[in-house]
Chains A and B, each alone.
Chain A
Amino acid sequence: MNHEKSTSDGEAIVRLNKLNKHFGDFHVLQDIDLTVTPGEVVVIIGASGSGKSTLIRCINGLEEFQQGELDVDGNPLLPDGKATQALQKIRTEVGMVFQQFNLFPHLSVLDNVILAPMKVRGLSRDAAVETGERLLARVGISDQIDKYPTQLSGGQQQRVALARALAMEPRLMLFDEPTSALDPEMIGEVLDAMRELANEGMTMMIVTHEMGFAREVADRVIFIDKGRIVEEGPPETIFDSPSEAPTQSFLSRVLKH
């Protein structure tokens, strides 16, 4: 293994130390050590079922873990999903984009984006609308803000989902296979929006199968296999000269086409 960042790095925004997760007998995550520094774009790759989605879902408490330490921006999460003030704080500071978009179908596009800023941050409707309109314009949805999610294409929905997460002014963005549910012709527009975000310096953790995108935007690529971090490093190293056999085998399968 090749840890670029030491775990003692004082300015880390995410810190995982010997994190373990079990689903019954299944050891989903095994001794995960991981540190992410502000501004870093970390792409996590691996086969289906390797635990990569579970890993980023642990970071905002959507999945519980059983042993180890996890803290986000100095807020520690406890094992076994014990709810704490820290969990709430983490969730307000960490945005997430899901594979299935998960927009709220009963709310208009604009209402999707302004709900959390109003209810969690306590913004007035006017202030939330102002921010919301700006973010929706940024992801290219300006003329559809009064529509409902189902009236939009998948690519548009995912861009709304991105704007919704950004409206909380997160310090870290998690992406759980954001383009896997999209028709091929819509993948580009979502990746473009993410690329722009990365260029602005957002800290991002991205689970994706888009290897070309990973190579382009990642500061660091992490390869997970059977719940373990097998290898990590800059994209050129991982993609061009992976040192571990599972990484080589995975990449030879996914890069073939």
Chain B
Amino acid sequence: MLRHLGSVSLTQETLTGDPQVDFQFDWQAAFASIPHLAPGIPYTLLISFGGLAIGFIIGIIFGLLRISPTAWLRMPAVAYIEIFRGTPVLVQVLFIFYGLPQLLGGPINALVAGIAAIAVNSGAYISEIVRGGVQSIERGQREAGLSLGLSRVQTFRYIIWPQAFRRMIPPLGNQGIISIKDTSLFSVIGVGELVRQGQIYIATTFTALEVYLMVAMLYLAITLTLSLALRLLERKGLVGQ
């Protein structure tokens, strides 16, 4: 593979000694990097799915508060959503990792900071997903439940939520993929996730192209697996719809 294609002519193929011209993509170097990147995978997965799991709980709570008819329940949810959706996740993690210790008087573990950042950030988006899902269910469903004598809680639990959750699966998958990719920013706080492992490895081998390609492939493997799993879940959930 040639670099700087614009400057390459046919005759240059015969020239030797120009590192820019006969640069070869080194597949061996690429594959050799995998064992060095591998230790980053559990961190990436832990930050992503740990953060998303907490974010999902936050999202259910704040998404439902967001649609409460009671203003003093609704307003804090609106504030939370706007603040954490409207600021960059990178700034959020820097704030948590470097800023919060000044308030708390002690350091925060980088892994914990990463999980917390994904949790509060995805939680804001998931709140909106939950709100949208619940509000998308026709009013007649609630009325039918109430008219049968089900309480408001029972109506939500057995009628509204199962239908809303099915509609939430595609946007939740979307958010999952976004959050997995967001964890790549957390190399800045030194947590040993995929990008961080790549940077460390490149510092000794200088094979940036090969290693970052492998890093990208590993992200893709994770996100494609998630996509596939969600597609199966969705198909299963579509029975009867």
Residues of A within 8 A of B (CB): 60-62, 88, 91-96, 98, 100, 102-108, 115-116, 119-120, 148, 150, 161, 164-165, 168
Contacts and interface: CB of A to CB of B under 8 A. Distances in A.
B61 interface: no
A156 to B, nearest CB: 15
Contacts of B158: 115, 119
16 contacts: A88-B149, A92-B148, A98-B140, A100-B138, A100-B140, A102-B138, A104-B144, A104-B163, A106-B240, A119-B150, A119-B154, A120-B150, A148-B239, A148-B240, A165-B148, A168-B148
B74 interface: no
SS class, residues of chain B in contact with chain A = helix
Interface string B120-163: 00000000000000000010110111111111001000110011
B149 A92 contact: yes
B166 interface: yes
Q: Indicate the member of A60, A106, A119, A150 with the most B CB atoms within 10 Å.
A: A106
Interface string B66-100: 00000000000000000000000000000000000
Contact of B148 (A61, A106, A108, A120): A120
Nearest to A100: B140
Given A96-B143, A104-B159, A105-B241, 9 more contacts: A92-B149, A95-B147, A98-B140, A104-B144, A105-B163, A105-B240, A116-B150, A148-B239, A148-B241
B148 A150 contact: no
Contacts of A61: 146
A161 B145 CA distance: 12
B29 to A, nearest CB: 52
Interface residues of B, number: 21
Nearest to A147: B240
B154 A150 contact: no
Given A62-B146, A94-B147, A120-B150, A150 B140 contact: no
B50 to A, nearest CB: 30
Contact of B241 (A92, A98, A100, A106): A106
Nearest to B154: A119
Contacts of A91: 146-149
A23 to B, nearest CB: 15
A102 B148 contact: no
A88 B155 CA distance: 13
Given A102-B140, A102-B141, A106-B241, A96 B159 contact: no
Nearest to B166: A106
7 smallest A-B Cβ distances: which pairs? A92-B149, A148-B240, A116-B148, A102-B144, A102-B140, A96-B147, A120-B149
B149 A116 contact: yes
Contacts of B154: 119-120
A96 B145 CA distance: 10
A257 to B, nearest CB: 29
B15 to A, nearest CB: 69
Contacts of A96: 143-144, 147
B147 to A, nearest CB: 4
A103 B147 CA distance: 12
Nearest to B241: A105
Given A106-B166, A119-B154, A119-B158, A150 B241 contact: yes
A225 B224 CA distance: 61
B148 A107 contact: no
Interface in B157-190: 158-159, 162-163, 166
Contacts of B143: 62, 96, 98, 102
Nearest to B161: A106
B158 to A, nearest CB: 6
A169 to B, nearest CB: 11
Nearest to A62: B143
Q: Indicate the member of B144, B154, B159, B166 with the most A CB atoms within 10 Å.
A: B144
Q: Indicate the member of B148, B159, B239 with the most A CB atoms within 10 Å.
A: B148
Contacts of A107: 240
Nearest to A90: B149
Contact of B149 (A104, A105, A148, A168): A168
Contacts of B148: 91-92, 95, 115-116, 120, 164-165, 168
B112 to A, nearest CB: 38
B165 to A, nearest CB: 9
A120 B158 CA distance: 12
A93 B149 CA distance: 8
